């Protein structure tokens, strides 16, 4: 499921086609895809004829500056992906929106579970903390963030208003690398544990990016050119229930934290 690494890989791969390009036609095939605006007509209206200036990202949101001064915002939800294609190529099922670019190419928004959206806004329509990759606070600032909450540390890492970009896979991986158990209350962590978490975030995300993101088996996240990301084999904890911890060999266990699955090593994550 698209988290920061998958969104960043997607952004990098579609940027050459979109930056500086004119969006000359927009089709929203599924009304739900435009739900964050008043509807598809508004999105089509505010997007058609606009030029994309810079294609950025904050957390899991792709945000493109338009020549109108507005922002094109794309969120992949849990099953969304962007696909670069020629107009003659056959469309994948669940192609919920298409942005046609002057010159003949198009960006397709494929999203089977429809948790993603495309919209045009003044600002990103969500409260986001600092980006986990680009703007992680220093040690003191990070400790202060964690000290403010008594929720489980995993829940805090998933809270986009605290740090933007981590989802269920990479939160588990960060905590595994930091040797911290996911259910521990955030505010109970000592400064050493907080710093291990902080310093695990960047390498875990960068590893994911360098592998092209994590494609799972089912409704796979795929790169814009159709390839699968190869980070799955690098995961130490997520999805590895019953398999040996790569660090100590103890079987990884799966539990539920805040209605979400969590995977960790009961022996070396404390």
Is 154 among the catalytic positions? no
Please pick, from the candidates 11, 50, 57, 60, the single residue that binds DNA as defined by CB under 7 A.
Answer: 60
Token match 């000592």: residue? 190
Nearer residue to DNA within complex by CB, 23 or 197? 197
158 sits near DNA (criterion: CB under 7 A): yes
Helix (H) or strand (E) holding 212: none
Judged by CB under 7 A, the residue of 1, 9, 194, 245 near DNA is 1
Q: What is the DSSP-derived secondary structure letter of residue 43?
A: H
Residues 6+ apart with CB under 8 A from 181: 175, 264, 266, 269, 270
Residues in contact with DNA, total (CB under 7 A)?
Answer: 36
The one catalytic residue among 11, 46, 57, 60:
60
Q: Tell me, yes or no, if 244 is annotated catalytic.
A: no
Work out which of 17, 40, 83, 168 binds DNA, going by CB under 7 A: 168
Decide if residue 10 touches DNA (CB under 7 A). Answer: no
**Residues from 228 through 257 that contact DNA (CB under 7 A):** none
* 69 makes contact with DNA (CB under 7 A): no
Among left, alpha and beta (phi > 0; psi -120 to 50; other), residue 165 is left
Choice between 105 and 239, CB closer to DNA: 239
Question: CA distances (Å), 170 to each of 30, 36, 38, 133, in order?
Answer: 30, 26, 33, 12
d(CA 41, CA 27): 9
Q: Does 119 bind DNA (CB under 7 A)?
A: no
Q: Which of 94, 108, 154, 264 binds DNA (CB under 7 A)?
A: 94
- Does 224 contact DNA by CB under 7 A? no
3 is an active site residue: yes
* Helix, strand, or coil (residue 59): coil
Q: Which residues contact 6 (CB under 8 A, 6 or more apart)?
A: 76, 208, 213, 214, 221, 229
Of 3, 6, 106, 173, the active-site residue reads 3
Nearest in space to 40 (alpha carbons), one of 90, 93, 99: 99
How far is the C-alpha of 75 from the C-alpha of 89, rounded, in Å? 24
Q: Tell me which residues are annotated as active site.
A: 2-3, 60, 260
Footprint of DNA (CB under 7 A): 1, 3, 32, 59-61, 75, 77-79, 93-94, 112-115, 125-127, 148-151, 155, 158, 160, 167-169, 217-219, 258-261
């Amino acid at each position: 499921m698209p988290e920061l690494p998958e969104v960043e890989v997607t952004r990098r791969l579609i940027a050459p086609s979109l930056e500086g390009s004119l969006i000359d036609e927009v089709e929203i095939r599924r009304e739900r895809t435009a739900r964050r605006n008043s509807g598809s007509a508004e999105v089509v209206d505010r997007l058609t004829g606009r030029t994309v200036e810079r294609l950025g990202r904050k957390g899991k949101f792709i945000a493109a500056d338009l020549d109108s001064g507005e922002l094109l915002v794309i969120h992949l939800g849990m099953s969304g992906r962007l696909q670069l294609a020629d107009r003659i190529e056959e469309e994948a099922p669940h192609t919920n929106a298409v942005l046609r670019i002057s010159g003949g190419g198009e960006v397709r928004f494929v999203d089977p579970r429809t948790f993603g959206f495309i919209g045009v806004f003044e600002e990103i329509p969500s409260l986001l903390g600092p980006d986990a990759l680009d703007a992680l606070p220093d040690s003191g600032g990070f400790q202060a963030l964690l000290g403010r909450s008594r929720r489980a540390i995993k829940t805090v890492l998933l809270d986009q208003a605290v740090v933007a970009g981590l989802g269920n896979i990479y939160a588990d991986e960060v905590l595994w690398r930091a040797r911290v158990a996911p259910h521990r209350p955030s505010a109970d962590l000592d400064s050493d544990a907080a710093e291990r978490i902080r310093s695990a975030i960047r390498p875990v995300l960068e590893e994911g990016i360098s592998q092209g993101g994590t494609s799972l088996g089912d409704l796979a996240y795929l790169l814009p050119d159709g390839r699968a990301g190869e980070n799955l084999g690098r995961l130490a904890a997520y999805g590895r229930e019953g398999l040996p911890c790569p660090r100590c060999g103890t079987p990884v266990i799966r539990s539920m934290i805040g209605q979400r699955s969590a995977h960790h090593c009961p022996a070396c994550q404390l």
